[in-house]
Amino acid sequence: MIGIIGGTGIASILGKGEERIIETKYGKAKVLIDDDVVLLFRHGIEHNVPPHRINYRANIYALKQLGVERILAINSVGSLKEEIKPGTFVIPNDFIEFTKFRESTFYDEGKVVHIDMTEPYCPELREILKKILENKNYDYHEGVYVCTEGPRFETKREIKIFKNWGDVVGMTGYPEVVLARELEMCYVSLCNVTNYAAGISKNVLTVDEVLETIKIMEDKILKIVDEFINYDFGERNCICKDALKHAVI
Ligand SMILES: CSC[C@H]1O[C@H](OP(=O)(O)O)[C@H](O)[C@@H]1O
């Protein structure tokens, strides 16, 4: 099974399949199931769940319960670099996070687990996603995803600091990527660069700009997702499938 986690502006372009509510020990998750693809909208289909209130554990656990092994997460981000232009893509190869109140592990009682995060995103899926974008001549960069708590956008001063440490900024990439690895699932992120971050942009940040850019990118996003869900993945030979092997005390 393949899992697709949709972010801002994606429900309107990807919403198809049988709607199901999946009960997990961390709460409920609403998904759409279409053949062997599970679609989950992290903000809810109506986009009424803000980034800091998303039940990330219920979402990832629900995908695991449904037999998902590989996840493509779609994230909207702000660019921290002039050369990373709105309307292009970023495939993160690392992250740093400044979130505050999120449940960020499945292992907070009973087993003590220290999962390795040297390669947070699945190396196999990153290579596949890069190939898909290259074959389509879609502009993309690899880089570091900086995760903030939200729901506010960042200040100019925060971005002045973040741009020395990362390439794009978002509010939802963490803890999804860690939770997926804790359940030995492969996770890759396709970041839609929707705007320049605060202070780099010449204008104030607006949700309108984010949604307008997503609209412009939607055809490319659809084509990438379509190619991904139809990719012949074969066996998993990555670090993700045995992530717990040397992580439990
Ligand atoms: C409306 S911009 C802020 C909003 O968009 C991004 O969501 P997602 O990563 O799910 O596409 C960002 O993380 C914020 O939640």
- At 159-212, the pLDDT tens digits run 999 999 999 999 999 999 999 999 999 999 999 999 999 999 999 999 999 999
CB atoms within 10 A of CB 215: 12
ipTM value for the complex: 0.98
Distance between CA 115 and CA 240 in Å, rounded?
10
Q: Is the CB of 150 under 6 A from ligand 1?
A: yes
Distance between CA 54 and CA 17 in Å, rounded?
22
Q: Is the CB of 99 under 6 A from ligand 1?
A: no
Domains of the chain in start order, with CATH, are 2-242 (3.40.50.1580)
Q: Is the CB of 195 under 6 A from ligand 1?
A: no
95: pLDDT strictly greater than 80: yes
Q: Are 30 and 20 in contact (CB under 8 A)?
A: yes
Which residues contact residue 11 at a Cβ distance below 8 angstroms, ignoring those fewer than 6 apart? 41, 45, 46, 47
pLDDT category of residue 147 using cuts at 50, 70 and 90: very high
Residue 90's nearest CA partner among 129, 135, 136 is: 129
- Output the pLDDT for position 16: 82
11 membership: H or E segment, kind and range: helix 11-14
13: pLDDT strictly greater than 80: no
14: pLDDT strictly greater than 90: no
The tokens for 50 are 């803000």
- Output the pLDDT for position 169: 98
Mean pLDDT, residues 124-139: 98
Q: Is the CB of 123 under 6 A from ligand 1?
A: no
Q: Are 71 and 189 in contact (CB under 8 A)?
A: no
Ligand 1 pocket test target in 5, 8, 154 with most atoms within 8 Å of CB = 8
Distance between CA 178 and CA 97 in Å, rounded?
11
Which residues contact residue 210 at a Cβ distance below 8 angstroms, ignoring those fewer than 6 apart? 8, 9, 76, 194, 195
Instruction: Please tell me whether the overall predicted TM-score, pTM, comes out greater than 0.80 for this model.
Output: yes
Task: Quote the ligand 1 centre to 37 CA distance (angstroms).
Answer: 22
User: How far is CA 77 from its chain centroid?
Assistant: 10
The tokens for 24 are 């997990």
Distance between CA 190 and CA 74 in Å, rounded?
5
Ligand 1 pocket test target in 43, 146, 149, 215 with most atoms within 8 Å of CB = 43
pLDDT category of residue 46 using cuts at 50, 70 and 90: confident
Q: Is the CB of 207 under 6 A from ligand 1?
A: yes
